[in-house]
Structure formats: structure tokens, C-alpha cells
Amino acid sequence: MKTVLITGSSSGYGLETARYFHAQGWNVITTMRTPRDDVVPQSERLRVVALDVTRPESIAAALEASGPIDVLVNNAGIGGFGAFEATPMATAREIFETNTFGVMAMTQAVLPQFRERRSGVVVNVTSSAVLAAMPLVAVYSASKVAIEGFTESLALELEEFDVSAKLVEPGYSPATHFTSNTGARMDGLIPEAYAPFAQRVLADVEQAAAVTNPSDVAEAVWRAANDASEQLRFPAGADAVALAQSR
């Protein structure tokens, strides 16, 4: 029986992915900064482990508690919405710490066991922001595009050891709005001069005909984790699929 470890699985895509893998009969390790077991299925095949991907000691402790895993799903991420002109570099670094360096740190930590076993899959969840430009998410987009390049290169170097690296690119989901987990860090990032433009952007996004459901992402992660071909990218959701096909 295989084991998957999913970062950022207290809600949204991560939680739905944990439920999906569990339903397929896998052992599932759900991770979150503040562990909660009331949001996941109660099962001997599911464990909740504390993890902050921005802290090396937390990563080490989580992996020690988890034991051997077969698939790592790097899903943890934070949103970022605002005018770049008004975005402090400290905020940009905070977004990169989770969305980019957190993914890299988790991946680096699990690679020794994958390499030694000559088996394993790293699935990195990015965003449809890598498929088409969108205003007011410049830093967020940059943090996700960085993971695209990282994974492209990583996939090539891991082939030597029969280890895979894949990308899942979710579209926009009203259920997991990218502005919903921005927190106080986004306060004041829409200056008065940008306010009318920001309102139009958000209205256009909210009125989008095609959207992504969390189940779309869970299914895409499942396909990526079990894919034996050379396919690297797995768009998730009708809008993301359409953007990928139009590129």
C-alpha cells in the first residue's frame, strides 16, 4: 500500500486531495501548520502531522514522524493580490518563502529516500497564473512560475534514479479564492489609484464561465502521481485546460 504526504491540507485543494487518495485506498499523511483531525476522514490509513514548510526543523520533524513515503504533493501556498508598486519587498519574500522555497525545501528533504529506493514522485501544485498573465498578482505569479522552471529541470535530473517530478496547474476556484488566504499581509496593497482597476479585475474573475473545482485538482494530482509517461504538466479544471490548450 502506497503512502502520500500532502502539504497544506487543512482546506481547499490539499484537503480534497487527501480525501481523494484516501478513497483510493492509499495511506495518507495530511500536514498543516496547526494540526486538525476534524476535517479529514477518521481512519487508520490517515494521519495528521504538523508542518510549516518555511521552517527546516519543522520539515525534518514531519518527515521523521511520517516514515517512508511514495509521493510528495507540494500543495501548501499563500495568495497574493495587490499592485506591485505598493507591495513591500518583505511581503514578496514572505510569499516566496512558502510558495517557492518551501516547495524546494520539502523536495530536497525527501529526495534522498526516493533516490535510494529508485522510486518516488514529486507533484508540485502551481496555478493557472503560469498559463496566462493576470494583473495584480505579479509576485504570486512569479513565485509559481519559479516552481515551473524548478520542476522542469528537476524532472530531467531525477530520471537517472527512476524518480518523477510533475506539475499540476489549477485554474480559478471560487471555493478556494486566491485572495482568501492572503491575510493581513495584503492590507493596503490596492492604493486609491488602483482601486477602480482592481474592482474591474475581480469582477471579471468572479464572472468567469469556466472554473475549477477542488475535485478537479485532486483528480489531476492523482493522475500525476500515477503517471508513468513523460508528461510533465497536468492542467486542472476547465478554465486551466482551456488556457493550456490555447498556449
CATH number at residue 206: 3.40.50.720
DSSP helix/strand/coil, 122: strand
Q: Write down the pLDDT at residue 180.
A: 53
CA–CA dist 8, 30 (Å, integer): 8
Quote the domain boundaries for residue 127. 3-246
Residue type, 49: V
Over the chain, what is the mean pLDDT?
Answer: 93
| Percent of the chain at pLDDT exceeding 70 | 95
The residue that leads in pLDDT, 207 or 83, is: 83
Of 77, 126, 103, nearest to 243 by C-alpha is 126
pLDDT one-digit tens code per residue, 168-219: 999 988 766 545 555 565 678 999 999 999 999 989 888 876 889 999 999 9
Residue 2: half-sphere exposure toward Cβ, Cα within 13 Å? 15
Query: By C-alpha distance, which of 81, 187, 86 is closest to 139?
Result: 81
* Residues labelled catalytic: 140
pLDDT at residue 93 tops 70? yes
Residue 2 has pLDDT above 60, yes or no: yes
User: Would you state the pLDDT for residue 161?
Assistant: 98
- pLDDT, position 157: 97
CA angle 189, 90, 122 (to 5 degrees): 100
For helices 138-158 and 89-96, what crossing angle results, to 10°? 30
Tally the domains of the chain. Answer: 1
Structure confidence at residue 184 (pLDDT): 61
> What pTM does this model have?
0.94
User: Rounded to the nearest 10 degrees, how much is the dihedral formed by the CA atoms of 131, 135, 136, 141?
Assistant: 20
Number of other CB atoms surrounding residue 234 within 10 Å: 24
Q: Which of 53-57, 163-167, 172-176, 231-235 shows the lowest mean pLDDT across its residues? A: 172-176
First vs last Cα of the chain: how many Å apart? 38
Instruction: Give the residue, 38 or 218, on which the prediction is more confident.
Output: 218
Chain-centre distance for alpha carbon 95: 13
Mean pLDDT of 88-106: 97
What SS3 class is residue 52? coil
pLDDT band at 108 (very low <50, low <70, confident <90, very high): very high
Question: Buried b vs exposed e over 179-216: b needs ≥16 C-beta within 10 Å?
Answer: eeebeebbeebbeeebeeebeebeeebeeeeebbbbbb
CA angle 101, 64, 159 (to 5 degrees): 55
